[in-house]
Amino acid sequence: MRLEARVIGEPGLGNPAAPSAPLVGLTDVWKVYRAGRVEFPALRGVDLAVQPGEMLAIVGPSGSGKSTILNVIAGIDRATKGDVTVTGRDLGEMSENELARWRGETVGIVFQFFQLLPTLTALENVMLPLDFAGRGRVAERTERARERLALVGLDDKADRFPSELSGGEQQRTAVARALACDPALLIADEPTGNLDTATAAETLAVIERVNQAGTTVVFVTHDRALSARADRVVEIRDGIVEPGP
CA 114/CA 243 separation, integer angstroms: 29
Give Rg (Cα) of the chain: 17
Read off the pLDDT of residues 165-201 as tens digits, 9 standing for 90 and up. 998 899 899 999 999 999 999 999 988 887 888 888 8
CA 191/CA 111 separation, integer angstroms: 6
Read off the pLDDT of residues 9-24 as tens digits, 9 standing for 90 and up. 333 444 444 445 899 9
Mean pLDDT of 88-116: 91
User: 235: which strand partners?
Assistant: 59, 242
Read off the pLDDT of residues 125-159 as tens digits, 9 standing for 90 and up. 999 999 888 888 899 999 999 999 998 889 999 99
* pTM for the structure as a whole: 0.84
Q: What pLDDT is stored for residue 64 in this prediction? A: 87
Superfamily of domain 24-243: P-loop containing nucleotide triphosphate hydrolases (3.40.50.300)
pLDDT band for 1, please (50, 70, 90 cuts): very low
At 143 the three-state DSSP class reads: helix
pLDDT band for 245, please (50, 70, 90 cuts): low
Mean pLDDT of 64-75: 93
Question: Is residue 8 over pLDDT 70?
Answer: no
Determine the straight-line distance between the first and last CA of the chain, rounded to whole angstroms.
16
What is the share, in percent, of the chain residues with pLDDT greater than 90?
A: 60
Q: Residue 20 CB: number of other CB atoms within 10 A?
A: 8
CA 214/CA 106 separation, integer angstroms: 14
pLDDT band for 223, please (50, 70, 90 cuts): confident
> Is the separation of the CB atoms in 203 and 168 below 8 Å?
yes
φ/ψ of 232, rounded to 5, equals: -150, 150
Question: Is residue 121 over pLDDT 50?
Answer: yes
Q: What pLDDT is stored for residue 224 in this prediction? A: 78
C-alpha torsion 168→172→174→178, nearest 10? 150
φ/ψ of 155, rounded to 5, equals: -60, -25
CA 194/CA 159 separation, integer angstroms: 24
> Is the separation of the CB atoms in 115 and 191 below 8 Å?
no
Return the domain boundaries, the chain.
24-243
